[in-house]
């Protein structure tokens, strides 16, 4: 069982990295959050039946772990520092501004934005977050409007 788990973690480490990077900040360092996600994946691994793909299951556990971690640790707003390099292009300032705005969103909103940026379908987002497909679509529409309003401030 341990070898299977380690293989799955290795094959999907980019998913874990992306989710943790999206939520890590100075109060909740990357390594602490990454460890929390891996621990929760290990705890849930014996119950993983393969009803969904491994990547969907990992996204769900990783997102829920990060959200739960912040609920337990703090109720104050979280500032997210991105750990990946923003492309060096003419619109890099726009991208940096977008990520700054995203960091001001709530945990679930950020999770949906992350999945949207990962080009997940509404159905996949629904499976990962536990929301209905209609609720995912509605929330994404509201998030887009919220980001537009925030950028006009």
- Count of residues in the chain: 153
- pTM, full prediction: 0.61
Structure tokens at 83: 């750990």
By the 8 A CB rule, do 9 and 16 touch? yes
Interatomic CA distance for residues 77 and 102, integer angstroms:
12
- Which helix (H) or strand (E) covers residue 92, if one does? helix 92-102
pLDDT tens digits for range 57-111: 999 999 989 888 877 765 544 444 444 444 444 556 777 788 888 888 888 898 8
What is residue 100's predicted lDDT score, i.e. its pLDDT?
83
Angle at 57 between CA 46 and CA 4, to 5 degrees: 45
What would the mean pLDDT of 31-43 be, rounded to a whole number?
Answer: 92
Report the candidate in 103, 62, 145, 143 with the shortest Cα–Cα distance to residue 95.
Answer: 103
């Amino acid at each position: 069982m341990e070898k299977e788990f380690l293989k799955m973690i290795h094959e999907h480490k980019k998913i874990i990295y992306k989710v943790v990077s999206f939520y890590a900040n100075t109060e909740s360092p990357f390594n602490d959050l990454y460890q929390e996600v891996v621990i929760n994946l290990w705890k849930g691994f014996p119950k993983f039946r393969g009803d969904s793909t491994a990547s969907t299951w990992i996204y769900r556990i990783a997102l829920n772990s990060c959200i739960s971690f912040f609920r337990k640790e703090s109720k104050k707003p979280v500032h997210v520092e991105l750990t990946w390099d923003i492309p060096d292009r003419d619109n890099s300032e726009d991208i940096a501004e977008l990520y700054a705005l995203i960091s001001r969103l709530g945990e679930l909103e950020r999770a949906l934005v992350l999945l949207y940026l990962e080009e997940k379908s509404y159905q996949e987002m629904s499976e990962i977050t536990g929301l209905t497909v209609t609720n995912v679509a509605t929330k994404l529409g509201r998030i887009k409007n919220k980001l537009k309003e925030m950028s006009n401030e």
